[in-house]
Structure 1
Amino acid sequence: MVTPDVVDQVLTYLLASLASVARDWAAIFLSVVTGWFLAYASLKSKVFENVYVSVLETLESVPVISFFPVVLVAFVYSIGAGLGVELAVLFLIFTATTWNIWMGQYQAFKTVPRDMIEVAENLRFTFWDKMLKIYIPYSIPRIASNTLPSFANALFYITVSEVFSVGSAQFSVFGIGTIAADLTAQGDYVDLGVALAVLAAVVLSNVFAITKFADYAVSRYGFETEAVKVARRGRVRFGLTVRAGATLSKAAKVARLVPLRGRGYVILEEEGEEGRKFEIPTKVTYSLLAVLFVGLIIYGFYVNWGAVETALPYTGQILLGLAYDYLRVTVISLVAFAIAIFGGYFLVTHPRVEKPVIAFLQTFSAFPAPAYFPILFLATLPLVKSAFGPLTNEFYVLLLGFISTFYYIFYEVWLGIKNIPKPVWELMDNLNLGFLTRLRRIVLPGLLPYIVTGMSSTVNSTWGGLAIGEYWPSIAQGHDLQVSHGIMLYFALWDAQGAVNLLAWGSFVFGIIVVIYSVLFTRKLMDLARKKYIIEESVYLI
């Protein structure tokens, strides 16, 4: 017989789960809306783009946990303990969801087929016309592919965001993360199992909704083809069946009669004067915004130089920790990439296996790993310890990092393969291309925009798992999970000591390394992908 206490307990867990998920969705919605405008701005100014991508890579890579104490103190002291802590937690969840959505939108805007842009310019599309009729629809599949990872990433951070300590002070808000942390600390694994079961039900319902949205996004806004026709000159020609293609083909005929408008400006209508327009030089505007952002960072260091100066002697230790952690990130990212390429291709080419496997992966990735990882750790510790010996803790840290991030590259590659136009598949079949030849000559080059986005998010988000795994005291029944070296370990120890100046300086040094990585890797590869490797443009072959 179910007692009233049990019912009240389950209802509490349900309300806590709903509260946590509500924070998640609020952050995702805000990320999507702001990302559209930031992505458009990056198209209009190279200066803004360089700063935006570098900052995006930095903030995605540097786990907000590392500088969350600074943010927490700022919110609490400026607003108050109650509302301040809630806003600080929302800020942490926002930073866990937004970066890969913004990167996906940026990548989508950068890879809009040139034919569409030229037609829009010839038809004198305004800023809102371009956004509502081209850029936003074209970005919907990218948003859909990143919604589940963002949802999962936010849930991953719930157990470390809803209850948080800085030094001896502890802060918390109502949510399933707080309840899970309390039950784990008490060793009450029965009630923890009940709480996780309730959370699982909530997660499953959200995953189902996200999956339906992803299916709708691909069918409504993705490119697909209906036939392969051989042109008179003997080249392959593809016919469009999507609404965007139909609209574009009609617009192209009209566009030939319309003179090309100048580029680099946003055209806005003046109120009260119909037909009159004025031009705003967007390159100058966005460049000034970028300079202003950099100036604010420099000013922040100037006014806080006293605290920064005391942290300078720790620079060598910070670089050593970064070297160890970048090695871990490399191992995790390469394993995730290999699984994504071969696994994604296999699933797309085997539809019967695809549906149940994707459903399982979506549910698994959306379930917060820190909530169940202590149970997994306790159940597998004897076996893992006998196999890895002194590297046992290292194995668990890599495992947690992999669980926290593999789905970024997997979903991007899987969706990219699904978006390969049908005539391309028919062409590969007609040429009797082998599996490795398909990968090397068509699939991998055509997936480069997806791979760049997915690998960028994977590399940058792996740090979240490392931040939790490298220093996890009393993870289960008195066992500690801790490595010998790592920047995330140092951050955790400095956090426990309340050394905010070391956290701030370590995050800054970390950010410099990430900026170099973003300039040399992400942006250059994204530009290359835009110029040569947009597989959706195959539908324009004539």
Structure 2
Amino acid sequence: MNQLALIALAVLATTLRVFVLIVLSIVSGWLLGYLAFKNARFESFYVSFIEVLESVPVISFFPIALIFFVNRIGGVLGVELAADFLVFTAVVWNIWIGIYQAYKTIPKEMLEVVENYGLGFFGRLSGLFIPFSIPRIVSNLFPSVADGFFYITVSEVFAVGSTSYSVFGIGSLLQNYLSENEWKLVYASMLAMALVIVATVFALREFSALAVAKYALDTDVPIMRRGRVRIRYSVLFSQLVSRNPLHKLSIYQWRSVIRRAQQTSFVQTKAKNRFQKVVRYGVFSALISLVLLIAYGVIEVLVTIPLDQWHSLIVSTPSLLVDLAFDYARVSVIALVSLVIAVTLGYYLAVNKSAEAIGIPLIQVLSAYPAPLYFPFVFALSFEIVRSSLGPLSVEFYVVLLGFVSTFYYVFYSFWMGVKSLPHEYWEIMKNLRLGFFQRIRKIVLPASFPYLISGISSTINSAWGGLMLAEYWPNIVDGKTLTVKHGLMKVVDLSTYTGNVSQAAWGSFIFGIVVVVYSLLFTKRMMDIARKRYVAEEGIYAA
């Protein structure tokens, strides 16, 4: 087959995987969100399930995917499902949270309308719940697509011990070209991926504009928020970005409700009730199956570990915690640099319309382009200069750099959206008082956008681990060189997987998951509570 045609097919396969998984996330989110909306007991389980697993990075699921899909199912199907499962766990929580939040903020008057017209399960979903969730979905598409492209190119080819697994796509094809030193084909592959990324970003921008124009609430700005919004604060988010929540949507909804009401009986038959129960139980069973799948992978690892090996794993725990401390130091640097860039560049773009029109699409394209594809070239072109300048710290520079480019956009877009959502009264005050840049940032902009910053920083920290895992142990990154650090938990997990020591990789992931969940519950919850109580921008307007 012609190599250019093969490259085109590989790019198409990779892109198709990402969007199929995003569509699957959206459809499952509609059903699960509705079930959580209607059932309080399931809602409690659903919210806790999402919040815990959202805070656990994708790499923690790798041993589970490896054991269940590769070892148990096996073959081409098992490897394909393993790759898809890892990407699914990267994009699904963001979308599920957005849909759930949209359902929870549906105006009471609209819920009464569908109740009065006696619409059934699908009538309610298609007539009210799905249209109301579309603006929140499109606001989460950009980070989901960026995460999807990042992890799909990494998961398309992976090795466990001496065994290498791959699925057809641009990630595996590029790996083959690099191993064969086919540099022209490497450049052609990267160019083809860049063209697809640019087309995808601009298509999503157009789709977002159309979707928001048709379905969105009345807002001062289009909904284009990057990063994960925490469930507990959906009301706060609605206060920050919305006004008159019934205007545009109610026009559409009344047309939709009246049209469906003409075809729907006020009294549902027993057959319809039974069908709705079957659908609800089916959705609930699907979520339980996902939980059981994760539990199965964990148990499968545990039962295969000999008793004498348990001793060595437990003894290694202090060393793993030290490695994790090194990683948190790297993540802290990434978060700090991302925050500084977000505050300066985000503010500049928010107040400069001409720069914003160019800068935002450019950043969207750069953030969506998979870093694992171009980073080896960055390393090759800059290695000698960086090594001569930084010496032993050059490795740390590249590790932090890869972590940064894979996650900085979360806090950047969160802060940018926070600045765009400031009430106009604050801008008038800053202008009348002739406040300078630093005074504006310190006294008004940072406090008013604090909820956005906390959400963005939390997402940045949670998403930095994928870049660290790739950078802390990258054999043969270019010209036989291996990028590796001396201390790092992501290196331990990655190296253990590479050498076939799945039990050590699973134990490291287990320790890591516990620490991350504790961090999320203690730090993120505390900061968001402070943001909700002390830094609500509208309260200053109301008080005045």
TM-score by length of 1: 0.78
* Deviation (angstroms), 1:527: 5.1
Of 347, 361, 366, the match for 1:345: 347
What are the Cα deviations for residues 48-103 of structure 1, in whole angstroms up to 9, with x where unaligned?
53443122212xx2525xx4254134223433401111111111221222233345
Paired position in structure 2 for 1:265:
none
Paired position in structure 2 for 1:416:
418
User: Residue type of the partner of 1:49?
Assistant: V
- Do residues 167 (structure 1) and 161 (structure 2) align? yes
* Deviation (angstroms), 1:524: 4.3
Alignment of 1:41-190 (within 5 A): 44=40, 45-46=43-44, 48-58=46-56, 61-64=57-60, 67-105=61-99, 112=105, 117=107, 119=109, 140-190=134-184
In the alignment, the residues of structure 2 paired with residue 106 and residue 527 of structure 1 have an alpha-carbon distance, to the nearest angstrom, of: 20
Alignment of 1:34-433 (within 5 A): 34-36=28-30, 44=40, 45-46=43-44, 48-58=46-56, 61-64=57-60, 67-105=61-99, 112=105, 117=107, 119=109, 140-217=134-211, 219=213, 221=216, 223-224=218-219, 244-245=246-247, 271-272=268-269, 305-307=302-304, 310=310, 311-422=313-424, 424-426=426-428, 428-430=430-432, 432-433=434-435
In the alignment, the residues of structure 1 paired with residue 17 and residue 502 of structure 2 have an alpha-carbon distance, to the nearest angstrom, of: 26
Q: Secondary structure at the match of 2:269?
A: coil
Q: Per the alignment, do residues 453 and 215 of structure 1 end up closer, same or farther by CA in structure 2, a change over 3 Å counting?
A: farther
Do the aligned partners of 1:47 and 1:287 also contact (CA within 8 Å) in 2?
no
Paired position in structure 2 for 1:30:
24
Of 506, 513, 516, the match for 1:514: 516
User: Residue type of the partner of 2:471?
Assistant: G
Q: Per the alignment, do residues 39 and 459 of structure 1 end up closer, same or farther by CA in structure 2, a change over 3 Å counting?
A: farther
Q: Per the alignment, do residues 48 and 328 of structure 1 end up closer, same or farther by CA in structure 2, a change over 3 Å counting?
A: same
Q: Secondary structure at the match of 1:473?
A: strand
Identity of aligned residues (%): 42
In the alignment, the residues of structure 2 paired with residue 358 and residue 450 of structure 1 have an alpha-carbon distance, to the nearest angstrom, of: 18
In the alignment, the residues of structure 1 paired with residue 471 and residue 152 of structure 2 have an alpha-carbon distance, to the nearest angstrom, of: 15
User: Residue type of the partner of 1:200?
Assistant: A
What are the Cα deviations for residues 133-189 of structure 1, in whole angstroms up to 9, with x where unaligned?
887666544433432222122222233211111111111111111111111222322
User: Residue type of the partner of 2:521?
Assistant: V
Do the aligned partners of 2:90 and 2:151 also contact (CA within 8 Å) in 1?
yes
Q: Which runs of 5+ in 1 are unaligned?
A: 227-237, 252-268, 281-285
Work out which structure has the larger RCO, using CA pairs closer than 8 Å and 6 or more positions apart in sequence. Answer: 1
Q: Per the alignment, do residues 137 and 350 of structure 1 end up closer, same or farther by CA in structure 2, a change over 3 Å counting?
A: farther
User: Residue type of the partner of 2:148?
Assistant: A
User: Residue type of the partner of 2:482?
Assistant: D
In the alignment, the residues of structure 2 paired with residue 502 and residue 248 of structure 1 have an alpha-carbon distance, to the nearest angstrom, of: 55
User: Which segment drifts farther, 309-318 or 367-376?
Assistant: 309-318
Q: Per the alignment, do residues 409 and 156 of structure 1 end up closer, same or farther by CA in structure 2, a change over 3 Å counting?
A: same
TM-score by length of 2: 0.78
- Root-mean-square deviation (CA, aligned residues, Å) is 4.2
In the alignment, the residues of structure 2 paired with residue 427 and residue 357 of structure 1 have an alpha-carbon distance, to the nearest angstrom, of: 27
Q: Per the alignment, do residues 102 and 335 of structure 1 end up closer, same or farther by CA in structure 2, a change over 3 Å counting?
A: farther
In the alignment, the residues of structure 2 paired with residue 455 and residue 42 of structure 1 have an alpha-carbon distance, to the nearest angstrom, of: 28
In the alignment, the residues of structure 2 paired with residue 493 and residue 212 of structure 1 have an alpha-carbon distance, to the nearest angstrom, of: 42
How many pairs are equivalent? Answer: 495
